[in-house]
Chain A
Amino acid sequence: MTRAPDVTREQRGQTKRMSVRLQCPGYPEDTLRSLADRLPCRDTQLETLLQLMGQPDQYSYPSIFIYGHRATGKSHVVLSVMKDLELPHASVDCVECVSSGLLFHQVLSAFFGPDAAALLPRCPSLSDFVRLYKQMSSNSPATQTRYIILDRAERLRDMDFSLLPALLRLQELVSDNVTVILLSEIVWEKFRPNTGCFEPLLFHFPDYSKAELVQILSWDHHPSYTPELYASYINILLGVFFSVCRDLRELRHLAVLNFSKFCEPLEKGEAKESDIHKLWKNIEPHLQRAMQTVYLREVSSVQWEQQQMDEEAATTLRVLSAHAHIELPYYSKFLLIAAYLASFNPARTDRRFFLKSHGKIRKTNFLKKHEKTSNHLLGPKPFPLDRMMAIFYSVVDSRVAPTASIFSQISSLVTLQLLSQVGHDDQLDSPKYKCSVSLDFILAISRTVGFDVVKYLYDFL
C-alpha cells in the first residue's frame, strides 16, 4: 500500500543543500554557485569532478571514466560544468559515430574550427588524427585543459581495436593539455582490452535515493498550485512507481502526464489542497492503471492525455498488445496450429494425439525425464516439415491436396515471422522449422476455426 506523503522531510534536505559551499580556485565563484544550484543532489560528484579537473591551466588526469545507471546525471553534470565554466570541450555521442572518422571530425572541429576538420583525409586513421591534432595544437597551444567528452562510450569497443587505448592516453600522444572523459552505463571491467591499456580514473555516479528523487521532481512544480501540493503529488507518484522504476526521466514523464488528473478534484471544488488523503484516494487507482498501460507504452502519451480529457474509462481503450491478431487464410491457420502442436509436443506423443486407434498410453510412463518438464517453459522445439504436414492432415477434417499454394503458405508464414526456419543449410530438402507465436495467439486463431488446441497439447493433459 502507498502511504500518505511526508512533506517536511525534503524541505529539510533542501535547506541543507543550500548551505553547501563549493570551493574551487581558478573558476568564478558565482558561476560555481549557480552551477551547484542547478545540479541538485549532485554536490559531491560536482566537487570531485572539479577537483579532478583542477585549475583551468593545470594538466588534468589523461582520462576519466564516469559510470552510473541511466539518468543519474552523468552527461548533464559534465556538460553543464563545461558550458557554464566556458571550458574548451568537444562533446561526442559515440552512437552517432558509425566510423572513427566522424569522431575525429567532431573533435577537431570543436577545438580548432571546421577548417581544421576539413584537412582530414577521406578515411582518416588514428595517426592522421594525432598528426593533425599536433599540428593544430602547436599553432594554438592550449591555455586551458581541453576536454573530449565521449557519451555512451561502450560503442568505442566495437570500433577499431586501437581506438580506445589510444584515446585513453591521448594526452601523451598529442602532448597537449587534453583530457578524455568517457561516460557509460557499463562498468570499466567490460571495457579493458586484452592487451592492456592506460587505466583511466574511475568515477561512479550513484543512483538517486527516494528522497533525492522527490527533491528533484518537486523542482518543476506547476505555477498555479503551491509547491507543497506538487511535492505531495510526487510523493504519491513515487509510492506507486518507485518499486518498479527509479529512472528520473521516466518518472518525470509520468508526473507530467498524470498531474491534470490529480488536480481534477481541486478544480471541481470537491476537495481542498489540504485534503491529501482524498486526493490520494482519487489518483491512486488511476496511477495503478497507468503502470499497466502508459508505462509499458501500450497506450501512447497522447492517447492517455486525450482519454483523461474525455473522461473515458481507461479500459475501453484498446491497448497495443490487444492488436496482436492477424487475419490469416483458412489453411494457414491450420498450418500454424499444426506447427504449434509440433513445436510444443514431444514427437513420441503424436501417436496418442493424432492417430485414431492408439492404445491406452499413460502420461508418465513412456517419456524421458527432460520431456516431463513443461515444454512451454523450455520454449519451442524445431520439427521437420514432414511431421508438421502429418499433423496438419490429421487436424484438418477435409481432404486437402498438397498443392503449391499450401507450401507457399508455409513460406509466407516464415516471412511473417510466425514460423522461423532453423538451420539454414537446406532450403528444399526436409527443412526444419520452429513455431514462434505465443499460446494466447494460437488460442485466438484456433477459436476462429473452432478447434480446441488445449485438448491436443501435452502440457495441459
Chain B
Amino acid sequence: TPRHATPSIPSRSAPARKPGNVLEEARTRLHVSSIPESLPCREQEFQDIYNFVESKVIDGTGGCMYISGVPGTGKTATVHEVIRSLQQSAEQDEIPHFHFIEINGMKMTDPHQAYVQILQKLTDQKATPDHAAALLEKRFGAPAPKKETTVLLVDELDLLWTRKQNVMYNLFDWPTRRNARLVVLTIANTMDLPERIMINRVASRLGLTRMSFQPYTFKQLQQIITSRLNRLKAFEEDALQLVSRKVAALSGDARRCLDICRRATEICEHSGSQKNGSGLVGMSHVMEALDEMFSSSYIAAIRCASVQEQLFLRAVIAEFRRLGLEEATFQQVFVQHQALCRVEGLQPVSVSEGLAVCQRLGSCRLLLLEGSRLDLFLRIRLNVSQDDVLYALKAD
C-alpha cells in the first residue's frame, strides 16, 4: 500500500493546557484516561488477583485465571494495578523478577496474530503466526533452569475465538506444562464464556480459577467520584448521589458515570456565564446531562420530522391496527397515507414521493425496510414501539 494511504494520529503541537478553574480541574480529574493509583471499592478483587499471581511467581509454577464482568467495572484497571504493585515488590527483591506481557484481542486483525505479538514482546523476534506458534511452543515446553516467570494478560478474550479454537487452546495449555512458568490472566465480559464458546478440552485447561467483577453499587460509584475529586469542591452532594443512583440502576458502569459528571460540569460552566449561581454543579445540571445521555433520540426525531413523514408514521400505525400485524407492505401503508392526506386536507402525494418519505424514515432507522428494489411490495416494520410514535405525534 502507498504510504499516504496509511492512517495516522495527528501529533499534538502545543502541550496540554493547565486547568484554569475548579470545574476544569474537576474535568481533567474525572477523565476516564486519568486512572488513579489505587482503585477504590475493588480492594477484595485486587487482593485475590494479587495473591494468585504472587503465589505462582514465588512457586515458579504456572496457571490461568478467568476474570469476567460487565464493561466499566474496573477489570483491566485492577489487573494493571496488581501488576504494578507486583513489579514494585519485585524491584525491592521481595519476590522473584517476572516478565509482563499484555495482548488485546480487539487490537488484532486475526486471532492468530496473538502468537506474533506474544513472541515479539517476549524476544523482539518477528515471525509468521505459524512460525511464532512453533517458537513459543518450544520456549514454553523446553526446560530451562534460569527462566523467569511470564505473566500474560489477555484482554477481550472472546475475540480470540477461532473455529478450531487452537489459539485459546495453546494459551491455556502452555501454563500447564511443567517448565513453562507462565501465568495467564484472561479478561472477558461474560461470566459463562468458557461454557458457551469453548470446547471441553479448552475449558478444562482454563481451570476453575474464576473471578467475576460485580457492577458498582451507587455507594461505590459515589465513592469513586469523591475519591477522584479528592476534596475538590465542584459538586453538590445531592447531585453526585443522583448520578450514582441513576447509573447504578441502569448499568453500574463507572465510565458512564464519569462521562455524565464531566458533561454536567460543562453544562454548569455554560449556564454559569449567564446567571451567577453557587459555582457548583447542581441538581439541574446533572438532570440535564442525564437526559442527554439516557433519553432516546427517536422521539425527538419524530417530533422534528416533516408533515408528510409524521403522516406516514400515522399511516403505518393505522395499517398495523387494521391488519392486526406488526408488518405491512408499502402499498397497504400508502393507501392509508393517501386517505390521511385527504382527511387532513393536504394534497395527496404521488407514489414516488410516498416512497421517498418512507425511505427517508427508513434511512434514519425509524422504520425497518427491505431493499428498495421491491418498491410497492417492500415490507415495513416500526423500529420504535407504537406507543413511542403515538406519544411523539400527540405532543404537538
The residues of A with any CB-CB pair to B shorter than 8 Å are 127-128, 131, 157, 187-196
CB distance from A48 to the nearest CB of B (A): 19
Residue of A at shortest CB range from B374?
A190
Interchain pairs with CB closer than 8 A, number: 34
Q: Do A190 and B369 have beta carbons less than 8 Å apart? A: no
Residue of chain B at shortest CB distance from A190: B373
CB distance from B233 to the nearest CB of A (A): 48
Is B58 an interface position by the 8 A CB rule?
no
Decide yes or no whether B352 CB sits under 8 A from chain A.
yes
Which of chain B's residues has its CB closest to A132's CB? Answer: B2
The 8 Å CB contact of B363, one of A188, A189, A194, is A194
* Nearest CB of A to B116, in Å: 25
Contact segment of B125-133, B269-277, B353-361, B384-392: B353-361
In this complex, what residue of B is CB-closest to A202? B352
Q: Which of B4, B352, B355 touches A131 (beta carbons < 8 Å)?
A: B4
Residues of A within 8 A of B5 (CB): 127-128, 131
Q: Which residues of A contact B363 (CB under 8 A)?
A: 194-196
Cβ of B345 within 8 Å of any chain A Cβ, yes or no, is no
Q: Is the CB of A157 within 8 A of B373?
A: yes
Bound-complex Cα distance A127 to B2 (A): 12
In the complex, the answer to whether B4 meets A192 with C-beta atoms within 8 Å is: no
Whole-angstrom CA separation of A134 from B371 in the bound complex: 32
A194–B369 touching, CB < 8 Å:
yes
Q: Name the CB-closest residue of A to B368.
A: A194
12 contacts between A and B (CB under 8 A): A131-B5, A187-B352, A190-B372, A190-B373, A191-B372, A192-B356, A192-B372, A194-B359, A195-B363, A196-B359, A196-B360, A196-B364
Q: Is there an interface contact between A189 and B355, defined as CB atoms closer than 8 Å?
A: yes
Q: How far is the CA of A31 from the CA of B375 in the complex (A)?
A: 42
CB distance from A129 to the nearest CB of B (A): 12
Which residues from A are CB-within-8-Å of B362? 194
Checking B2, B4, B369, B375 against A189 with a beta-carbon cut-off of 8 angstroms, the contacting residue is B375
Closest 9 CB pairs of A and B: A196-B363, A189-B355, A192-B372, A190-B373, A192-B359, A189-B375, A195-B363, A189-B352, A190-B375
- Taking each of A189, A194, A196, which has the highest tally of chain B beta carbons within 10 Å of its own beta carbon? A189
Q: Check if B371 sits within 8 Å of A194, measured CB to CB.
A: yes
Asked if A194 and B372 make an inter-chain contact with CB atoms under 8 angstroms apart, the answer reads yes
Measured CA separation A128–B355 after assembly (Å) = 34
Find chain A residues with CB under 8 A from B2 CB: 131
Q: How far is the CA of A80 from the CA of B276 in the complex (A)?
A: 70
Task: Report chain A residues within 8 Å CB of B372.
Answer: 189-194
Chain B residues lying within 8 Å of A190, measured Cβ to Cβ, are 372-373, 375
CA of A193 to CA of B355 in the docked complex: distance in angstroms?
Answer: 12
CB distance from A382 to the nearest CB of B (A): 26
Closest B residue to A199 by beta carbon equals: B356
Residues of A within 8 A of B359 (CB): 189, 192, 194, 196
Which chain A residues lie closer than 8 Å to B4 at the CB level?
Answer: 131
Q: Smallest CB–CB gap between A321 and chain B, Å?
A: 33
Q: Which residues of B contact A131 (CB under 8 A)?
A: 2, 4-5
Q: A189-B356, A189-B359, A192-B372 are in contact. List 9 more A-B contacts (CB 8 A).
A: A128-B5, A131-B4, A157-B373, A189-B352, A189-B375, A190-B372, A190-B375, A192-B359, A196-B360
